[in-house]
């Protein structure tokens, strides 16, 4: 295993002459993409002179988001610029191919290392000096090319499967809009404030606890952004710390989680597990009033564009977006009759079976 120290170099060339106009961001799912396409509203500065230039074959990563895969190699553009907060890395391709490094940085092995190296009082952040301490196997260039070729075929298979799953997701969203619309309209269906159909809306602990090697899972935005409760690579706290945290915010099966801090704010997740866990402040916990709303219907409704638009309009903070609890409580929610909610949930559950079948077919292939 080799440390990255001797294979990479930080590249901090600024766009002082405003020569480069293409403002890009790095996402955890789509790699490099234009910032205007990534963000639902303009959050980047009008002054681009301090932005960092990225050249073809270089990597860039978001220090506070690399632990969920916000790192990518620039392949299709000659030059772009990224936020001054990003780290840009040039790779010595006589010994280490940038594409090979990019693949490694998205692996579970790398993500575990990254999460162990991150630091920061507000959000985990991987500084460049810590980045260079990552360890990876570096075989010959020919062997690296072979790995890249093999993994590219795997990525093609995964991409095909993901397109199938995205198609099912889009079908569900289209069905919702067909039945209930995409704009709260009291003349069509009742519209209520989220607070009026929830028994409680709270968030997790505001100070980072002392982590333990094992114990009760402690989840943050990182574990919710996929749209479900993800325990992989989560942090842990002691039983005593867990008991103290759940006094005010106790997630249970049938609840709804909602990300409220950072670039991935506005992602809901239905709690479909009996497993005990506790939450960080970046995640909001919604305990639905089950006499008024089907929890799964609420979770799906909150992923629809009409709710995201409300979140976008209410968001606070320039550097780190942060939805306040009172703003979430004020969301307008479309609330059809309970039997219509149940019918839609039954439709979603059938689609979930189709998704599972597609995933199992892919594994068999």
The tens digit of pLDDT for each residue in 227-279 reads 899 998 789 999 999 999 999 999 999 999 999 988 789 999 999 999 999 99
Q: Which two tokens stand for residue 61?
A: 């990563």
Helix (H) and strand (E) counts in the chain: 10, 19
Q: Tell me, yes or no, whether 268 lies in a domain.
A: yes
**Given this model, what pLDDT does residue 359 score?**
55
Q: Cα separation of 35 and 101, whole Å?
A: 24
Q: Any idea what the CATH number is for the domain that residue 57 is in?
A: 3.90.220.20
Q: Same domain, yes or no, for 39 and 104? A: yes
At residue 286, what are phi and psi to the nearest 5 degrees? -115, 120
Residue 176, in any domain of the structure:
no
Q: What is the pLDDT of residue 119?
A: 57
Q: What are phi and psi of 236, to 5 degrees?
A: -130, 150
Domain of 331, in residue numbers: 190-335
Residue 308 backbone dihedrals phi, psi, to 5 degrees: -60, -35
Q: Rounded distance, CA 153 to CA 129, Å?
A: 33
In this prediction, residue 364 has a pLDDT band, given cuts at 50, 70 and 90, of very low
Q: How many domains does the chain have?
A: 2
Q: Rg of the chain over CA atoms, in angstroms?
A: 22
**Does 197 share its domain with 121?**
no
Give the pLDDT band of residue 361 (cuts 50, 70, 90): very low
pLDDT(41) > 50? no
pLDDT tens digits for 296-316? Answer: 999 999 999 999 999 999 886
Alpha carbon dihedral 345, 346, 349, 354, in 10-degree steps, equals: -130
Please report the pLDDT score of residue 270 as a whole number. 96
pTM over 0.75: no
pLDDT at 167 over 60: yes
* Shared-domain flag, residues 107 and 216: no
Q: Shortest CA distance to 287 belongs to which of 328, 323, 315? A: 328
Mean pLDDT of 25-45: 65
DSSP 55: E
Can you give the pLDDT at residue 105? 92
> Is 127 within a domain?
yes
Structure tokens at 71: 């790192």
Q: Which of 122, 66, 86, 101 is nearest to 13 (CA)?
A: 86
Per-residue pLDDT at 355? 67
Q: Using the 8-state DSSP alphabet, how is residue 229 labeled?
A: -
Q: Which two tokens stand for residue 325?
A: 């609890």
Residue 11: HSE in the Cβ half-sphere, 13 Å Cα cutoff:
19
- Residue 76, pLDDT > 60, answer yes
Residues 14 and 111 in one domain: yes
Say yes or no: 18 and 113 in one domain: yes
Looking at the structure, do residues 234 and 130 belong to the same domain, yes or no?
no
């Amino acid at each position: 295993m080799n440390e990255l120290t001797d294979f990479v170099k930080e590249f901090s060339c600024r766009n002082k002459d405003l020569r480069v106009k293409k403002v890009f961001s790095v996402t955890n799912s789509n790699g490099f993409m234009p910032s205007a396409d990534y963000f639902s509203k303009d959050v980047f500065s009008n002054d681009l002179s301090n932005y960092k230039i990225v050249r073809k074959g270089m990597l860039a990563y978001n220090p506070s988001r690399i632990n969920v895969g916000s790192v990518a190699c620039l392949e299709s553009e000659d030059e772009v610029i990224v936020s001054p907060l990003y780290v840009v890395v040039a790779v010595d391709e006589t010994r280490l191919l940038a594409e090979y490094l990019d693949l490694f940085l998205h692996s579970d092995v790398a993500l575990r290392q990254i999460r162990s190296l991150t630091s920061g009082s507000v959000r985990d952040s991987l500084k460049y000096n810590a980045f260079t301490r990552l360890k990876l196997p570096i075989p010959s260039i020919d062997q690296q090319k072979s790995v890249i070729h093999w993994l590219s075929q795997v990525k093609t298979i995964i991409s095909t499967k993901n397109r199938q799953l995205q198609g099912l997701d889009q079908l569900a969203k289209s069905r919702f809009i067909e039945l209930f619309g995409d704009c709260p309209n009291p003349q069509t269906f009742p519209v209520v404030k989220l607070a009026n159909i929830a028994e409680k809306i709270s968030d997790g602990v505001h100070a980072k606890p002392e982590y333990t090697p094992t114990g009760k899972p402690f989840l943050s935005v990182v574990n919710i952004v996929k749209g479900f409760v993800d325990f992989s690579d989560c942090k842990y706290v002691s039983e005593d710390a867990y008991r103290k945290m759940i006094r005010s915010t106790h997630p249970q099966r049938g609840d709804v989680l909602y990300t409220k801090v950072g670039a991935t704010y506005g992602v809901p997740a239905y709690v479909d597990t009996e497993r005990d866990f506790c939450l960080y402040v970046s995640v909001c916990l919604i305990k639905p009033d089950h006499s008024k709303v089907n929890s799964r219907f609420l979770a799906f409704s909150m992923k629809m564009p009409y709710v995201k638009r409300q979140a976008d309009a209410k968001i606070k903070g320039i550097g780190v977006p942060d939805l306040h609890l009172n703003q979430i409580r004020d969301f307008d929610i479309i609330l059809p009759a309970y039997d219509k909610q149940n019918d839609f949930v039954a439709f979603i559950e059938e689609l979930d079976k189709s998704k599972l079948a597609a995933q199992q077919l892919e594994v068999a292939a």
